Structure 1
Amino acid sequence: MRRRVLVVLMIYSTVVVLALSVPLGLLVGRERAQRFGENRAAAATFFAELSSREGESGVPRLRESVQRYNSLYDEGIVIVDRTGSPRALAGLDIERADVQQAIAGALRNQRGHLPSSVTPWSQSSVLIAAPVGGGTQVDGAVVIAASTDAVRRDVAVVWLVIAVGALLILATVAVIAAALSRWVVRPLTALSSRVRSFGDKFHDQLPSAGSHMSKPAEYVGPPEVRELSSAFDAMADDVEAATAAQRRLVADTAHALRNPLAALRIRMDVLGMKVPDSAADAHLKTTLEVDRLTTVVEDLLVLAAAETPFTKQTTGCDVGAAIAARVEFWSSTMTMAGIGVHVESPEENTLAAISEDDLIRILDALLSNATKYADAGADVEIGHRTSEGHVTVWVSDSGPGVPADELPKIVDRFYRASSAHGEGTGLGLSIVHALTERAGGTIEVSARRPSGLKIELTFLREC
């Protein structure tokens, strides 16, 4: 945003500076052209009057004046009589077509057209003509090839000064605009950072009960922006505190329910030995419900632990060894379910930036889901690969899969895909998601072709 504000201010300033400097440069060109024209027109008029006063006896003095003007100003000049014959000539080729045209116009009592403006790239000389005599009696003509070098040089110097001044103004405006945009945008940038950090905490890692939310830095900038930033910080703190309290409540409730459920399960087992055959079916269904509730409570406790920020430093986990160990552990269960498993791993040891306990929980959840939902006859592929600075672990199966529109939702807590069958809490992939995010990794859920589900986890690689 700061860049956009700076660009807008610079564009506006550039337009304003150009709107002032360009007319000023054009005005200088017209002013210099007017002064130049008046000066050379006065010289042509002087020689016209001198020629009308001097008769044939004054031709030597006329030629002397013309020669002196040519040597002084280095400009060609010619004075002709009414027939077009030269009376005095110095530094000008009278046979040139433009000179002949200027003489013809002056003999018709027409003065030459002076330039309205002069630029550094204008012609190096212009012809200035004046008739000799007045009224209806024209006795000759004066033509001066006036050099514009000095005028063009003056205009170039003034334009250069204007350009340098405009650049200095723009540089000053750029410094002011940079400071102003920083002053205006800095609190918004800090607010954006606060929003991002708040979003990360809200979705994945809210502060635990014993942690303290960091106090944001004091904002600077316009009062309205500071007020908005302070209001958002207060709202963010309230939402974070409320959500953290909600998650603590869920964790505390699950923890409080675990022991009574365990005791209830024991009593159900003891009661089962005395239940008559007529109530055996009801007793069995009640026991299954208690087991389901126990599973939900255990998963909620694991999820609460996974969503707690992990501060302990780890030395990295050997991904290949963890995969091999969990596949061996689940092999008998998967064989009984009629599911084949294939492992793809590089031969070298690969360390990922995740604790071994968390990786084991992740692999157990993924292999458990594959065993439950892939159906008999399906194949499960598990493995990992390394790239520059990252380790990717994937588990895919050739089961029925998940509808495409449900893929982004299956990592949400308590969500079960419409293709899922059998019992489940809908918390397995939520736990995987939370543990992966806590380790600084990412999770990607996609469909396997032609059928099935693929889950890829990416972690930072430990050296």
Structure 2
Amino acid sequence: MWRRVLLVLVAYSAIVVLGLSVPLATTVSRERLQRFTESRTAAATYFADLADREPELRGTELQQAVERYHDVYGEGVVVVDRTGTTRASAGLSARSPEVAAAVSEALRNQRTRISSGLTPWSPTSVLVTQPIGTGTQVDGAVVIAASTAAAKRDVARSWAVIAGGALAMLVLGSLIAVALSRWTVRPLTALTTRVRALRAAIVDHVPAGGESRQHDPGDRRRSGPPEVRELARIFDAMADDIETATAAQRRLVADTAHALRNPLAAVRFRLDTLGLGLSGRSLESHRRTLVEIDRLDRIVEDLLVLATAESRPPGSSTGVSDVAAILAERHDFWADALEDAGMSSSIALPAESARPMLAAVDEDDLVRVMDVLLSNAVNHAGAGASVEVGCRPEGARIRIWVADTGRGVTDDDLRRVTERFFRASAGNAPGSGLGLSIAQALVEGAGGELSVSAGHPAGLRIDLGLPPADPLAHNDS
């Protein structure tokens, strides 16, 4: 791919160089032609003035001036009267067809105009004419066979300097283009190699039977350099493989959790039966075993809920919930637990006259999320903390929060509290470490977002942003 980038950069550099050098060369040619024309026109005007004053001068003075000019500059001159008769000449004959045509134009009071630029391949000489006389009275003509050799050499020398500079600029631009193209393409080439290797590693671990999405063959991957198209193709295939592997992982977790529920229930039943005949230290061991079985049962249930929630695409929830009613009901439900833990609680709801806030989330999911957040406050805020539950409309979202003034977590732990099985370093309460992960998955499955931040002045604050539901759809249902 770097060759294509190099070609584009070199072509662009060539266009820029040509865009600068060609106008400069044209300007030099025109400027040199102007100086050449002015000098020869001045000489022709001088001879025309001499010829016009001939009666006042000696007859040989005009001829001498013409001969001196021819000797010094090597250019032929001829002066004729109105009838075409030669009055003075040196190195040029009025009988030449080209000179006769130039004389005819001058006798019609037409002066020489050289319109084209002067180039190294221009004619070696040009005829410069000047009428003799003033106004409309033409008494003759002066013709000079002006040599362009010196002017062409000057133009050729200037053009050589310009061409050399342009070539140097082009070479320098090409060197920069080579370095720039390699520098630009190197990360893309390395990324293609790594993505190809990563995809090969993923394919080795993707379960058989996984189906990849079929992409539209007419999409953007059909355009652009082959390396970019190849990278896009490999990346799309890798994304499909990751999606397939992730879906398989979620199915495995869900299937495993579902398969463990019945054996755990059977073990619990047998332990309950076994505990009827125990006493003393055996009974205490039996109680601890039941605690661990209950904990394992909660983890299995949480894994099943988490796998189910994560398998939903964002915004796929079709339920509608009255946010204020659910918050009030869950606050009342957890009030005793909060009081037993030595905490105070409050709830901030919109005024009763306000229209009900309906969120596009299943009621069971919102109830589960609020239970997770309030349980988290009960287990981790600590005695003496206050807990506030509230909601309000906020732009295109319904904002729900649970904030406490408890111990909070460190800044490092704050970024990880929604990770699976993560437990804060300062926490010692029981739990599976899946609660906030489940809450986040349920909220995102409804098209919302969950954020965790430090409370003010202390503690932890968890905010939910849920999409509002359509009241008309809710009434129709």
Q: Is TM-score (shorter-chain normalized) higher than 0.5?
A: yes
Q: What is the Cα deviation at residue 54 of structure 1? A: 6.4
Indicate the residue corresponding to 1:457 in structure 2: 464
What secondary structure sits across from 1:343 in the alignment? strand
Aligned to 1:216: 215
Distance 2:440 2:268 in 1: 30
Match of 1:289 among 288, 292, 315: 292
Offset of residue 244 of structure 1: 2.1
Match of 1:346 in 2: 350
Question: CA distance change for structure 1 residues 338 and 405 in 2, over 3 Å: closer, same or farther?
Answer: same
Shift of 1:42: 2.0
SS at match of 1:361: helix
The change in CA–CA distance for 1:32 and 1:55 in structure 2 (over 3 A counts) is same
**How far is the alpha carbon of 1:446 from its aligned partner?**
1.0
SS of aligned partner of 1:216: coil
Q: 2:338 aligns with which of 320, 334, 337?
A: 334
Secondary structure of the structure 2 residue equivalent to 1:394: strand
Residue 402 of structure 1 is matched in structure 2 by 409
CA distance in 1 between counterparts of 2:237 and 2:38 reads: 79
User: Is the counterpart of residue 302 in structure 1 residue 305 in structure 2?
Assistant: yes
Counterpart for residue 21 of structure 2: 23
1:254 counterpart letter in structure 2: A
After superposition, the Cα gap between the structure-2 partners of 1:342 and 1:58, relative to the gap in structure 1 and judged at 3 Å, is farther
Matched residue of 1:461: which SS?
A: coil
Structure 2 residues without counterparts, runs of 5 or longer = 58-116, 119-184, 196-201, 203-208, 471-477
Deviation digits for residues 163-187 of structure 1 (CA, Å, limit 9, x no counterpart): xxxxxxxxxxxxxxxxxxxxxx9xx
Letter in 1 for 2:325: A
Counterpart secondary structure, 1:456 = strand
Q: Deviations over 1:256-308 (max 9, x none)?
A: 11112122222222222210223111111111111111111111111112112
CA distance in 2, matches of 1:48, 1:382: 107
What is the aligned residue count? 317
Secondary structure of 2:393's aligned partner: strand
The residue that corresponds to 1:429 in the other structure is: 436
1:6-405 counterparts in 2 under 5 A?
A: 16-52=14-50, 57-58=55-56, 214-218=213-217, 219-221=221-223, 222-309=225-312, 314=318, 316-347=320-351, 348=354, 349-405=356-412
Cα deviation, residue 460, structure 1:
2.0
1:427, distance to aligned residue in structure 2 (A): 0.5
| Partners of 1:242 and 1:326 in 2: CA distance | 37
Deviates further, 38-47 or 363-372: 38-47
Distance 1:409 1:225 in 2: 36
Query: SS at the partner of 1:365?
Result: helix
Following the alignment from structure 2 to structure 1, what is the Cα–Cα distance between the partners of residues 370 and 9?
57
Q: Distance in 1 between matches of 2:245 and 2:405?
A: 42
| Counterpart code for 1:321 | A
- Per-residue CA deviations over 1:220-256 (Å, capped at 9, x if unaligned) read 1333333333333333333332232222222111111
1-structure distance, mates of 2:33, 2:316:
85
Sort the Cα spacing of 1:338 and 1:35 in 2 relative to 1 into closer, same or farther, 3 A. same
Cα 1:9–1:380 shift into 2, 3 Å: farther
Q: Is the 8 A contact 2:317 2:445 kept in 1?
A: no
Q: Distance in 1 between matches of 2:229 and 2:16?
A: 36
**Which amino acid letter does the alignment assign opposite residue 289 of structure 2?**
T
Query: Structure 1 pair 42/234, CA: closer, same or farther in 2 (3 Å)?
Result: closer
Q: Find the residue that maps to 2:468 and give its secondary structure.
A: strand
CA distance in 2, matches of 1:251, 1:300: 7
Contact kept, 8 Å, 2:319 with 2:363, in 1: the verdict is no
Corresponding residue number in structure 1 for 2:418: 411
- CA 49–335 in structure 1, closer or farther in 2 if over 3 Å, else same: same
Q: Equivalents in 2 of 1:459, 1:31: separation in Å?
A: 75
Shift of 1:354: 1.8
Structure 1 residues 370 and 9, CA, compared in 2 at 3 Å: closer, same or farther? farther
CA 1:378–1:52: 2 relative to 1, 3 Å: same
- Local SS of the residue matching 1:381: strand
Q: CA RMSD in A?
A: 3.4
Query: Hey, what's the Cα distance between the residues in 1 that align with 2:389 and 2:7?
Result: 56
Return 273-282 or 17-26, whichever deviates more. 17-26
Letter in 2 for 1:220: R
1:335 corresponds to which letter in structure 2? E
- Deviation of 1:53 (Å): 5.7
1:6-58 per-residue CA deviation (whole Å, 9 max, x = no partner) reads 9x999876654342233322333333333333333222212323445666844
Give me the whole-angstrom Cα distance separating, in 1, the residues matched to 2:10 and 2:227.
24
- The one-letter code matched in structure 2 to 1:214 is R
CA contact (8 A) 2:212 2:237 kept: no
- SS of residue paired to 2:415: helix
User: For 1:409, what is the secondary structure of its paired residue?
Assistant: coil
The residue type paired with residue 307 of structure 2 is A
Which residue number corresponds to residue 132 of structure 1? none
CA shift in 2, pair 1:352/1:11, >3 Å: farther
Do 2:253 and 2:303's aligned partners in 1 also have CA atoms closer than 8 Å?
yes
| Paired residue type of 1:43 | T
Q: 1:31 to 1:423 in 2, by over 3 A?
A: same
Displacement of 1:383 = 0.9
Is contact 2:316–2:446 with CA below 8 Å preserved after alignment?
A: no
Shift in CA distance, 12/386, structure 1 to aligned 2, threshold 3 Å: farther
Deviation at 1:462, TM superposition (A): 2.8
Between the aligned partners of 2:35 and 2:56, the Cα distance in structure 1 is: 28
Distance between the aligned counterparts of 1:250 and 1:398, measured in 2? 36
Q: 1:357 to 1:13 in 2, by over 3 A?
A: farther
CA distance in 1, matches of 2:431, 2:317: 33
Equivalent-residue separation in structure 2 for 1:272 and 1:36 (angstroms): 119
